[in-house]
Amino acid sequence: MMVTRDQAWLLLQEFTETDSLRKHALAVEAALRGYAKRLGENLEVWSALGLLHDLDYEKYPDRHPYVAVDLLEHRNFPDEFVLAVKGHADYTETPRETLMAKMLYACDELASFVVAVALVRPGGFEGLEAKSVRKKLKDKAFARAVNRDEIAKGAEDIGIDLTEHIQNVVDALKEREEELKAEGLSLL
């Protein structure tokens, strides 16, 4: 099956109603798009992965990501894509063996955290740098639900220094925010 970003967006809208989960999906998509461009990977596939990785979370939180995995398999999504979705949740104990799977894991929690940092800044993403994000990471009371250990492990798994990884994600989210605004959407 040929995976497209537009198909993924429609599927996400079908399964997800809350703005918060849609914005999370858009943020992870933005981070993965940034890395896809940087690494010469398939932009459509990596965008779709960011959008669909939590497809089942709203309706089936206790069975996440297994419902999404079944749905994606049934719709003939590529095995690499499906395994990346399954592997982004540590408790599935699915090894992250591909670059795609490692990048999804590395970007998932971090994208949410970067958005949280931007939300408390008067300028949003404007002027946001990795240094500010790292400072907020040390504040355990800030964005408490974000797993800091997963952020560190994700950077380690992709072999990129944490500060550099944070800056890459910040840059990708800044760039995508401008594009989304033109479509009447926002990460914030």
- For 111, list phi and psi in degrees, rounded to 5: -60, -45
- Res. 85: pLDDT tops 80: yes
Q: Using pLDDT thresholds of 50, 70 and 90, give the confidence band for residue 11.
A: very high
**What is this structure's pTM?**
0.96
Domain boundaries, the chain: 5-182
- Res. 181: pLDDT tops 80: yes
- Res. 165: pLDDT tops 90: yes
Residue for token pair 């990129």? 160
51 membership: H or E segment, kind and range: helix 43-52
Query: Which pLDDT score is estimated for 164?
Result: 98
pLDDT tens by residue, 23-52: 999 999 999 999 999 999 999 999 999 999
pLDDT tens by residue, 97-133: 999 999 999 999 999 999 999 999 999 999 999 999 9
- Res. 83: pLDDT tops 90: yes
Whole-number Å distance between alpha carbons of 128 and 130: 7
Query: Which pLDDT score is estimated for 2?
Result: 83
Whole-number Å distance between alpha carbons of 162 and 107: 11
pLDDT mean across residues, the chain: 96
What one-letter code names the amino acid at 122?
A: P
pLDDT tens by residue, 135-158: 999 999 999 999 999 999 999 999
Residue 65: cis peptide before it, omega within 30 degrees of 0 = yes
Query: Which pLDDT score is estimated for 96?
Result: 96
- Res. 1: pLDDT tops 90: no
Whole-number Å distance between alpha carbons of 19 and 175: 20
Query: Which pLDDT score is estimated for 95?
Result: 95
Note the CATH number of domain 5-182. Answer: 1.10.3210
